[in-house]
Amino acid sequence: MTQRVLVIDYHKCVGCETCQMVCSLVHEGICSPDLSRIRVARFETDARFVPISCAFCEKAPCISVCPTAAIFRTNEGAVLIDDEKCIGCRQCVQACPFGHMNFNPARGIAYKCDLCDGDPQCVKFCWTNAIQFLPMEMAAEDKRYAAAGKIME
């Protein structure tokens, strides 16, 4: 199976937060940006918006600090959390250098993007196509062409 990654083009994001609402609805049953696994960082004065989600780090610090091994990597490369093993210590929240790990105080567990079991709903509902789920090689190729275009300018 080809490893796929979330690719976010912040130039296309309009800050509508649809991705946050869909994510929280799918995972928690309510529309709540605070419970979303994707968050839109808002730079209002610049009129720029950046959807932020788990980077699925190759050397994921959240995995290494989890005392109960609740955080693990799948064969496909996704970093997931076993809710049953999570003790709510928040070590993963502190360890994540990008602020992608979240904590649900009502449930007492950590949570983060799980790629919706390979079918990310944020991608389906992003009407500007700011969020895409692409094969890793395609994502890298797009970046190469973008860098080459800048060189050619």
3-state helix, strand and coil shares in percent for the chain, rounded to the nearest 5: 35, 20, 45
pLDDT tens profile 29-51:
999 999 999 999 999 888 899 99
Check residues 103 and 3 and name the one with the higher pLDDT: 103
pLDDT at 137: 83
Mean per-residue pLDDT, 117-144: 90
- Comparing CA positions, the residue from 36, 42, 37, 39 lying closest to residue 14 is 42
Q: Which residue type, as a one-letter code, is found at position 119?
A: D
For the chain, the structural domain boundaries read 1-53+117-153, 54-112
Assigned CATH for 1-53+117-153: 3.30.70.20
Domains 1-53+117-153 and 54-112 are alike in CATH topology: yes
Q: How far apart are CA 70 and CA 14, in angstroms?
A: 35
Q: In this structure, which CATH number among 3.30.70.1230, 3.40.50.720, 3.30.800.10, 3.30.70.20 belongs to the domain 54-112?
A: 3.30.70.20
Structure tokens at 143: 């970046």
